[in-house]
Chain A
Amino acid sequence: MRMTIKVTLIGLTSLGLSGVAAADSFSSLSEATGDSADASARFVASGGQVALGAVAVPLALVGATTESAGSAATTIAGDLWDTANAPLSVDNDIAMAQPLPHVPRTPDADTKSGEQ
């Protein structure tokens, strides 16, 4: 089956890439998120806050009991699909994974041990 390409212009939010060519750029994600306060300030222009260390709420089936999912679990319910293709809402916050932590090899050097 041959694939033909049609170009449809759909407006997305302007990024102004040409204008940010000289802006600060982070060489690695760990740099970008190392100072969460500074990272938050940089993201204000996007209209959302940084949600560093966010985690996905596990998916669960209707009627299934998962201790870790809790009451906020997304259930794959039948009515979830009754409005298939209906628009969904997305929050403006930027979720991002935490950088890999450095854990000292020996306990005596591990000054950050214990839950925080």
Chain B
Amino acid sequence: MRRSFKSTIAGLALVALATTTVGPALADSGSSRGIGDAYFTSEEAADYSKDIEKTLAETGARVAIVFRAGRDRDQLPEGIDYTHGAFWVYQPIQREDGSTMKGYVVWNLFHGDGETLPRTQSELVQDFPFDFVTGAKAEDLAVIVPTPSMQKRIMTMMAEGRYEAVHDPDYSVIASPFDDKYQNCTEFLLDVVAAAAWQTTDYRQLKVNLSAHFEASTVKTGPLARLFGPLVDEQVKLSDHRGKPIRTVSYASLARFMLDNGYADETFKVTPSSVGGTRIVMR
């Protein structure tokens, strides 16, 4: 009877998630390999990533925040267009033969793969634009360019080791940005930006500040998914939302926060095209 009851609950949960996805749809921060078949061929990813690097280089951006959709758009909840974001930092890159090249390094937060690290934990990982684009499942990427002062502050944090100080390894795919319980990749981006802005890595102080000044994105999901989601996917945590609407950090809410408060110069989207790129400048 107990086994039958559990099976029924699990079945209901799967049905709920099949119709109203939350965790699985948003889960993309698990390395740059993405989920499922690649959207771009390796040649396409190489060309596209290099084009983005050169676009950033032309603007003089030493630090940019780039987002990708690691899932098909039709699988994402309303209001969420991208599933993973990371810092792209202009710095020398050393080849295996010891020579150096100029380009961007991608500073990511990835959740564990369940083998080397639990899926409910995250780590900070560096890779490269090619790897980042390889994990995309939609052709457009979004970019936020911080102001030169913010770029310098963020790079200084990275050089001084303070960047890691705002990393919380307890991972939730829908982490609330207003407490210190869990963190996902987009909340980590916000926390680094906040630490650079307020010049502190006091995490609790940052959460208080963000509660007062940051407007998060609401993830719309049905009651069944909310009820059964944590049962089916260990990366879906709801305890930090305290029964309130699920609110998390998205590209849109981070861009708005940075633009409204003078922390970013611009934000735009890039797409590959056989004719030319489409740069959507958002103000």
Chain A interface residues toward B at CB < 8 A: 1, 3-20, 23-29, 32, 39, 42-43, 45-46, 48, 51-61, 64, 72, 74, 76, 80-81, 83-97
Extra contacts besides A1-B256, A6-B283, A26-B41 (5): CB < 8 Å:
A8-B279, A15-B274, A23-B43, A51-B93, A89-B102
Does residue B143 face the partner (Cβ distance < 8 Å to A)? Answer: no
Are the CB atoms of B152 and A81 closer together than 8 Å? yes
Q: List 29 A-B contacts (CB under 8 A).
A: A1-B256, A5-B280, A6-B281, A7-B279, A9-B277, A9-B278, A12-B55, A12-B272, A14-B275, A14-B276, A17-B44, A25-B42, A26-B41, A32-B134, A46-B46, A51-B96, A52-B96, A54-B95, A57-B94, A57-B100, A59-B91, A61-B156, A61-B160, A76-B156, A88-B60, A88-B62, A91-B103, A95-B93, A97-B131
What 1/0 mask marks residues of chain B from 7 to 40 whose CB sits below 8 Å from any chain A CB?
Answer: 0000000000000000000000000110001100
Does residue B204 face the partner (Cβ distance < 8 Å to A)? Answer: no
Of the listed stretches B122-130, B186-194, B226-234, name the one at the interface; the rest are far from the partner chain.
Answer: B122-130
Give the complex CA separation of A45 and B92 in angstroms: 24
Residues of A within 8 A of B101 (CB): 51, 54, 91, 93, 95
Does residue B82 face the partner (Cβ distance < 8 Å to A)? Answer: no
Partner of A24, one of B41, B59, B96, B128: B41
User: How many whole Å from B153's CB to the nearest CB in chain A?
Assistant: 10
With A4-B283, A10-B279 as contacts: A43 and B94 at CB distance below 8 Å: no
Are the CB atoms of B50 and A48 closer together than 8 Å? yes
Does residue B282 face the partner (Cβ distance < 8 Å to A)? Answer: yes
Are the CB atoms of A90 and B50 closer together than 8 Å? yes
Kindly report which residue of chain A lies nearest to residue B91, judged by CB atoms. Answer: A74
Does residue B90 face the partner (Cβ distance < 8 Å to A)? Answer: yes
Residues of A within 8 A of B37 (CB): 27
User: How many whole Å from A8's CB to the nearest CB in chain B?
Assistant: 5
With A1-B260, A6-B281, A95-B130 as contacts: A12 and B44 at CB distance below 8 Å: no
